[in-house]
Amino acid sequence: LIVILSTVAGAVLEGMAKDGMRGMFATHLHDIFKLPLKHLDRVSYKRMALDNADEWTYRLEDGVTFDSRAFSTARKFGLPTNNLNRAEELKSIMAKCDERKDADGSQDE
């Protein structure tokens, strides 16, 4: 599903760039960076800067990040430990599924 969502987001970003639109396009769909997108000569890549303590500065800097910081964000804002532990378990399961898909060449639909 994430791959499909990334392709939709990529097509939207291409269309915006092709039409000369200005604005911000934020996503946690990191697979978008694997796509051969067109018309991106006007696109600048930015990410939220972190300070030395690995805390958000709420300032943009040049670059791309592939770390959504979902777990540290959830922890910071008080998600219960049992939910965090379960999320870690599910993350491990998904990683194993992704490894199997990569090994046999299957795609998300």
State pLDDT tens for residues 66-78: 887 888 889 989 9
What is the SS3 string spanning 48-104?
EEECCCCCEEEEEEECCCCCCCHHHHHHHCCCCHHHHHHHHHHHHHHHHHHHHHHHH
Consecutive H or E run containing 34: none
pTM for the structure as a whole: 0.66
pLDDT for 26: 86
Mean pLDDT for all residues in the chain: 87
At 12 the three-state DSSP class reads helix
Q: What is the dihedral of CA 81, 94, 9, 55, to 10 degrees?
A: 40
At 3 the three-state DSSP class reads helix
